[in-house]
Structure 1
Amino acid sequence: MAGYGDLVRTPGVLRIIAAQLTARFPNGMTSLALLLHIEHVTGSYGAAGLVLAATSVGQAISGPVTSRWMGMWGMRKVLGLTTVICAVAITTIALVEMVLPAYIALGLIAGLSTPPVQSAARTIYPKLVNSRQLTPLFSLDASLQEIIWIIAPVLITFVATQIGTWEALIVIVVILVGGGSWFILSPEVGRVRIPRSKRRFGVVLTRPPVLLATVIGFLLIGACAAVEAGVVSTFGHGGPEAGLVLAVFSIGSLAGGLTFGHIPIGSWAMARRLAIVAAGLVLTSLSLNVWWLGGTLFAAGIGIAPALAVLFAMTSASVKFSDTAEAYGWIGTGQLIGAAAGSAVAGFLIDGTGPQGAYVAAAVFAVAGFAVAALFARAFPDLRHRDASPLPDTEPSPIIT
């Protein structure tokens, strides 16, 4: 933990972490708020599902595209434009009553214009700290993002149910614009320039570590999405149990990241960390008792943030600086598709076999992630004796002064 103390005292680190977490806070709110609002307006969960699907498709498409644009036009221009368009789309959904196709179109626009804050922040990190601090910084980032998933759903559900659904969407817009402005105006965002990539769009996926990170992100987030569906199905909406159990899951991840995330990363690091997640989720599927679920999900969570830290570090260390933003965009797309797949598979199993099926699905996703990491361990970079800095471009890399 002492290493984290030194890290946050590095000029600019705490500001960028706080700003990007605030800017990304709507990520933990938007889907739930759209679900509640569209269902309230149309009276149909099916209609709400279509809008959510359109939003997710838009986000999956935009991730690598807008991230690459930051190397062409600059981070501030891309982040500013996408923030404005996304805010206008969500505001229109909130305030204007329309036919379903119009809601779907606006949901797609909101997804396509989701600001690539995550890619921008993780591209900035290697220029913000020295090489020794980079892996702990990725770990701290992966750990603290759990705050979003602990607080954001509770906050937006309270606003939507106690005040109103359109008001909940406006709250999201306020945070989107406020947090986005804070991040965009941060000095570090203006000082780092991403060189224009000389490679074709998508070529970065041919790098084995990037492809592995995308596949493993798909499987890991798919497992988490299946858990979420299972917990909601188990406890319903009538009491606090679902929210508390999911919060415990995120707290386990936060604790694991802060405690173990700084450990040097070898080629077997991902497999070991995913083994913790897989073991916890296999145990989770054995009982629906609230205490059992809470305990096993806490244990499974301990491996999640450390695994994400490996994912971010291995990506940074395996590509040129000009390709880092696009690489993180592809990884984000993999995670979004994983979330959709995990929720869908869990939903079908819940309908067919009950809540237990969702936990089985989560365990299968997690075991598959472990298997991929173990089978392809030699393709993971060994960072125990080197840092996670990006590979040098042919042109000089920009440095924060």
Structure 2
Amino acid sequence: MGSTVTTTEPEKTSPASSRPGYGQLLRTRGAWTFLLPGFAARQPFAMLTISIVLLVQHTTGSYGAAGAAAAATGVSMALFAPYSGRLADRYGQRAVLIPGVLVHTAAGLSLTALALAHAPLWALFLAAVPTGASVPQVGPMVRARWGVKLQGSPLMTTAAAFESVTDELTFVFGPLLATALCTAVTPAAGLVTEGALTLVGGLLFAARKSTQPSVAAKGHARVVHASALRVPGVRVLIATFLGIGSVFGGMQVSLAAYTESIGEPGMNGVLYGVFAAGNMLSGIVCGAIAWKAAPHKRLLIGYTALAVAASALWTAHSVVLLAALGLLVGMCIAPSLITGYTLVDGLVPAGARTEAFTWLTGAVALGQAAAVTVAGQLEDRLWDGAGFLVPMGGTVLALVTLAVLRSRLVPSPQNRTVARGVGHRAPVTVD
């Protein structure tokens, strides 16, 4: 079967359009055709972990077991996401997405059935692995489509901010929806709904072939597909995003445990929604500003604020204080996410950017998986709210790594080379 090469004209901007603006971004031709289905297909990242935690905790009575099952999903997603991104760069998004959403839906329903049947934990792990491995990487795919549409445009920073806001919008509605379904309908409703949204949104997104990045024809056998992981700056960003994942995972488990301990489980979704709303609001503001400071400097400043705010979570002993601190932590996450994704455009060749984005998304998932495991154990063994120590530890460790290795986030002058070994670099031909 021959390869189909799709070409997309990059959007041209006039001098008058150099000022970032969401209105101008959303008027980009063809943007809504992939944005709307992409929003629905992003729901796994927002709903999956909390749905698994609530379902497994309900059937086993243990947050430790629930965290472990959710962690198995997160780890498998983190390990397979970059491979999925590389395949999408090489063979096209549609070729990867269609089988992915079908496998994910089937695996998620199997996990649901096993949990309701009170299957042993090892059986839940067997179902959790393919569920996580097949999570569609729609967010990175949308970012890659923006990169094609806006190549060379000053709106790229606005697009990165818009994507972060979109991600956070799913984190506002996703946990609220999952919690409401699991507590008011049935504990299995969250996973079932997540699977349905993934299937419908993913297939509609895959159908938009005209907006996907082009892929190399078979005759281009000499094209080099270098891994984005070879770029030193990408490895620094991975460590940074691991810390962000620890905030998401630690908050999900700890908020669920805290609201359960005070007899108000329904407040879990509300508190997590406040946290995500802070993230979304700061993302909107961040994307509307024409920044003059270098991105790597902004990342260090923003991440310092995040580590400080996350370190205060464990001290909260009331719903009001916890909501206020959660809002503050959320407001500190978006600038770090936006700046990190923006740095990819300067560090990574175009032909490897989908993979780079999936490495960062996978890092968040891996950090979240580790966090839900550790936080679940702390909640079971120590006091209610002990899981909030996890976001503090994760962000502080990541901040130290970022501070020491921040020079690797400065793009090289050529901006198109990827490290191929110790002591030398080789140019990479991109599609």
Report the TM range for the smaller structure's normalisation.
Answer: 0.7 to 0.9
Q: Is the aligned partner of 1:175 residue 2:197? A: yes
Residue of structure 1 equivalent to 2:41: 23
Q: Which of 119, 122, 127 is 2:148 aligned to? A: 127
Q: TM-score, normalised by structure 2?
A: 0.80
Q: Which of 299, 306, 326 is 2:335 aligned to? A: 306
Structure 1 residues 4 and 241 mapped into 2: Cα distance closer, same or farther (>3 Å)?
A: same
Structure 2 distance, partners of 1:194, 1:50, is 41
User: Which deviations, in whole Å up to 9, do the C-alpha atoms of 1:81-136 show, x marking residues without a partner?
Assistant: 11111112223444575954554323222222222222222222211124211111
Structure 1 distance, partners of 2:385, 2:65, is 27
My pick for the range that moved more, 225-234 or 344-353, is: 344-353
CA contact (8 A) 1:324 1:390 kept: no
Residue of structure 1 equivalent to 2:137: 116
My pick for the range that moved more, 355-364 or 204-213, is: 355-364
CA contact (8 A) 1:321 1:390 kept: no
Structure 1 distance, partners of 2:283, 2:365, is 21
Structure 1 residues 167 and 221 mapped into 2: Cα distance closer, same or farther (>3 Å)?
A: closer
CA contact (8 A) 1:160 1:167 kept: yes
SS of match in other structure, 2:429: coil
Q: Is the aligned partner of 1:81 residue 2:105? A: no
Q: Is the aligned partner of 1:333 residue 2:362? A: yes
Structure 1 residues 90 and 364 mapped into 2: Cα distance closer, same or farther (>3 Å)?
A: closer
CA contact (8 A) 1:256 1:306 kept: yes
Residue of structure 1 equivalent to 2:429: 394
Q: Which of 320, 324, 342 is 2:353 aligned to? A: 324
My pick for the range that moved more, 142-151 or 263-272, is: 263-272
CA contact (8 A) 1:17 1:141 kept: no
CA contact (8 A) 1:80 1:184 kept: yes
Structure 1 residues 353 and 112 mapped into 2: Cα distance closer, same or farther (>3 Å)?
A: closer
Q: TM-score, normalised by structure 1?
A: 0.85
My pick for the range that moved more, 189-198 or 220-229, is: 189-198
Residue type of the alignment partner of 1:274: Y
Q: Which of 376, 394, 397 is 1:365 aligned to? A: 394
Structure 1 residues 102 and 245 mapped into 2: Cα distance closer, same or farther (>3 Å)?
A: closer
Residue type of the alignment partner of 2:180: F
SS of match in other structure, 2:311: helix
Query: Displacement of 1:44 after TM fit?
Result: 6.7
Residue of structure 2 equivalent to 1:378: 407
Structure 1 residues 288 and 155 mapped into 2: Cα distance closer, same or farther (>3 Å)?
A: same
CA contact (8 A) 1:24 1:118 kept: yes
Structure 2 distance, partners of 1:299, 1:53, is 26
Q: Which of 81, 84, 104 is 2:125 aligned to? A: 104
CA contact (8 A) 1:143 1:257 kept: yes
Structure 1 residues 146 and 389 mapped into 2: Cα distance closer, same or farther (>3 Å)?
A: farther
Structure 2 distance, partners of 1:120, 1:31, is 21
Q: Which of 211, 219, 222 is 2:243 aligned to? A: 219
1:2-401 pair list within 5 angstroms = 3-38=21-56, 48-49=66-67, 51-94=69-112, 99-100=119-120, 101-130=122-151, 131-190=153-212, 192-193=214-215, 198-199=224-225, 203-236=227-260, 238-239=263-264, 240-261=266-287, 262-264=289-291, 266=294, 267-351=296-380, 353-355=382-384, 357-381=386-410, 394-395=429-430, 397=431
Structure 1 distance, partners of 2:119, 2:382, is 35
Residue of structure 1 equivalent to 2:13: none
CA contact (8 A) 1:316 1:390 kept: no
User: Which deviations, in whole Å up to 9, do the C-alpha atoms of 1:281-307 show, x marking residues without a partner?
Assistant: 234344323222222222222221111
Residue type of the alignment partner of 1:60: A
Structure 2 distance, partners of 1:273, 1:115, is 29
Query: Displacement of 1:335 after TM fit?
Result: 1.5
Residue type of the alignment partner of 1:64: P
Structure 2 distance, partners of 1:165, 1:286, is 30
Residue type of the alignment partner of 1:204: A
Query: Displacement of 1:38 after TM fit?
Result: 4.7
SS of match in other structure, 1:268: helix
Query: Displacement of 1:78 after TM fit?
Result: 0.7
Query: Displacement of 1:151 after TM fit?
Result: 1.3
CA contact (8 A) 2:66 2:376 kept: no
Structure 1 distance, partners of 2:188, 2:245, is 29
CA contact (8 A) 1:139 1:257 kept: yes
CA contact (8 A) 1:276 1:302 kept: no
Residue type of the alignment partner of 1:21: F
Structure 2 distance, partners of 1:393, 1:351, is 50
My pick for the range that moved more, 231-240 or 271-280, is: 231-240
User: Which deviations, in whole Å up to 9, do the C-alpha atoms of 1:229-267 show, x marking residues without a partner?
Assistant: 333333326324433222211111111111123443513
My pick for the range that moved more, 96-105 or 233-242, is: 96-105
Structure 1 residues 161 and 359 mapped into 2: Cα distance closer, same or farther (>3 Å)?
A: closer
Structure 1 residues 47 and 373 mapped into 2: Cα distance closer, same or farther (>3 Å)?
A: closer
Query: Displacement of 1:169 after TM fit?
Result: 3.3
User: Which deviations, in whole Å up to 9, do the C-alpha atoms of 1:303-357 show, x marking residues without a partner?
Assistant: 2111101111112221112211222222222212211222333344445552454
SS of match in other structure, 1:192: coil
Q: Aligned pairs, how many? A: 391
CA contact (8 A) 2:347 2:409 kept: no
Residue type of the alignment partner of 1:289: S
Query: Displacement of 1:269 after TM fit?
Result: 0.8
Query: Displacement of 1:222 after TM fit?
Result: 0.8
SS of match in other structure, 1:376: helix
